[in-house]
A and B are shown apart, each in its own frame.
Chain A
Amino acid sequence: MENIVTQIQGVPLNHYIIFCSIIFAIGVTGVLIRRNVIIIMMSIELMLNAVNLLLAAFSAYRGDPTGQVFVFFIMALAAAEVAVGLAIIIMVYRNTKSVDIESLSKLRW
């Protein structure tokens, strides 16, 4: 365990922050520009995993386990959220025969 922590600390903290910010930004861009609902969901997962990675890095740097415990919370709740989300996508697919976000534009003012 000590070995892993020293290995994590071998990379400067700023690199983790920049790396995770880039992954997070890729996720945000994906949500905003992609039209396929499944890919949008994957982009959201990318955002959450960037957060997980950053939490783990901070946690290892501080030698404080609470950050890593928080990662477990995020994983569990993200799984619950994805379960509901996929069910919603299946429901939409049954009605429209499509997973394209443009197929749903009934509600406009």
Chain B
Amino acid sequence: MGAIITLCILGIVVLYLGLFKAKNALLPVTLLGLVVTVGFLVAGWNNEALPQFHGMVIFDRLALSFSILCVIVTGLVMLLSKEYFKNISTYLSEYFCLIIFSLLGALLVNSYHNFAMLFIGIEVMSVALYILVGIRKTDLASNEAALKYFLMGAFSTGFLLFGITLLYGASGTFDLTELQAYVQTSSDISPLFYGGVLLLLCGLCFKVGAAPFHFWTPDVYDGAPILITSFMSTVVKVASFVGFLRLFSTVLIPLHDFWTPVLLTIIIITLFVGNITALLQSSFKRMMAYSSISHAGYMLFAIVSIGAMSASGMLVYAAAYSLASVIAFGVLILVKRSTGSESFESFNGLAKREPMLALVLTIAMLSLAGIPLTAGFMGKFMLFNNVMGSYNITLLILAVINAAVGVYYYLHVVVNMYFRKAEEDVMEQHVPASYKIVLVGAAVLTLIIGVYPDSILGFL
């Protein structure tokens, strides 16, 4: 709970810093606050996990580990923000404040134990993001992205709420423990409950961007400022998945036969739509948007084969995916600044100009593609292994085909960096020190998790 209170206070303090024009203090104060938050989360590690505050939140290992991941990734994004926000807007403190509040929502979603908290967490997370996506007020693409994200977000909230209402109508409670008891003990489960589960599934699939509810994802990720895209595609997505995982692992396991076919269909559509459309893209940013859809499909594996290992598999996968995305978007910011474009061609000859950037981006792409010795491989391996345990061979074959398709478009950018010549008119760019720290740090972490996955698995 200390973590959530710290973030609330931090957001308000940052707003006041903006009011008193203390622009240079913004980043240090924010980072300090995030460190304190991680401290509170780590301190609660060995406490007994009981629902707190009348069963509203629970800080078990699942919530704590994913919360720490979210806070660390936010810290990395914040470090990248120093040079970035100055160029696109004057409202610096509002940026920091909104990102912090969005992170707060993510932490609530990670630790909910009552549907009221799930709803509030998702809303706090999304409402802050609606503003962040549209923060470039005169840019039409940013406007369009904000409007689409708002409309789709509100629309999916409607489904989520209708689902929660039907579950309440069937069981008379919003509390996860009581819902669990209802599912396990009642002899005939009301049809309302099944309808509620389906609607809840629709609402959550909207939030994680799984097909056929994915259509907003590419447009929003494309139109938003790059740094906000990286925040959205990592922290928000990971938190929504934890919401998914907690609901299914505590309440819905006994209804396995009912939701497995639905989820399998969603996964297969998601994998194919994400990967095949990513193949056709000419913009790196849009390719990353579609690849995030396909990664949503892989992460749903953890839910379809739910068991004791699914949380740790998802943690490794989410960590790998988040680190690689932060690297990819960080490099994209630098490349866009020197060439003014987000297309694959703008990466031509990067290996000559900036060998370090090319190397870290290669590591990130290999990790996203799932090549051994990177974190992405370990994540995919663990998730696939779980599915294998539940004998879903068809799904596994389809997933491997999709992983192979993924290798093609991830390596496209690597080929461009190393084997194509750059056009002449590329500005020489100085890489800021904070970027170097973040990019190299994330790349090293990716390799460490890839070689010693036990370092992170010991946590769960």
Residues of A within 8 A of B (CB): 17, 24, 27-28, 31, 37, 40-41, 44, 47-48, 50-51, 54-55, 58, 62, 64, 66-67, 69-70, 73-74, 77, 80-81, 84-85, 87-89, 91-92, 95-96, 101, 104-107, 109
Contacts and interface: CB of A to CB of B under 8 A. Distances in A.
A48 B158 contact: yes
Interface of B: 115-116, 119-120, 123, 126-127, 130-131, 134, 137-138, 140-141, 143-148, 150-151, 154-155, 157-158, 161-162, 164-165, 168-169, 172-174, 192, 218-219, 222-223, 277, 280-281, 286
B147 A107 contact: no
A91 B169 contact: no
* Chain A contact residues: helix, strand, loop or mixed: helix
Contact of A95 (B138, B157, B165, B222): B138
Given A74-B161, A107-B222, A81 B147 contact: no
Contacts of A54: 162, 165, 169
A84 B127 contact: yes
Which of A40, A51, A80 has the largest number of chain B CB atoms within 10 A? Answer: A51
Contacts of A64: 172
Given A85-B154, A92-B143, 10 more contacts: A44-B151, A44-B155, A51-B158, A54-B162, A70-B116, A84-B150, A95-B143, A107-B144, A109-B277, A109-B280
Contacts of A40: 151
B116 A73 contact: yes
A95 B158 contact: no
B177 to A, nearest CB: 14
A91 B137 contact: yes
Contacts of A55: 165, 168
Contacts of A84: 127, 130-131, 150
Contacts of B165: 51, 54-55, 58
B161 A51 contact: yes
B155 A31 contact: yes
3 pairs of A and B residues whose beta carbons are closest in the complex: A47-B158, A104-B144, A107-B219
A58 B150 CA distance: 29
A47 B162 contact: yes
A87 to B, nearest CB: 8
A31 B157 CA distance: 13
Contacts of A51: 158, 161-162, 165
19 contacts: A27-B158, A47-B158, A48-B157, A48-B158, A62-B172, A64-B172, A66-B174, A80-B127, A81-B154, A84-B130, A85-B130, A85-B154, A88-B147, A88-B150, A92-B143, A105-B144, A106-B144, A107-B141, A109-B281
A67 to B, nearest CB: 6
Contact of B120 (A73, A87, A89, A95): A73
Contacts of B147: 37, 88-89, 92, 101, 104
A48 B150 contact: no
B217 to A, nearest CB: 11
B94 to A, nearest CB: 13
Contacts of A106: 140-141, 144, 223
Contacts of B138: 95
Nearest to A86: B150
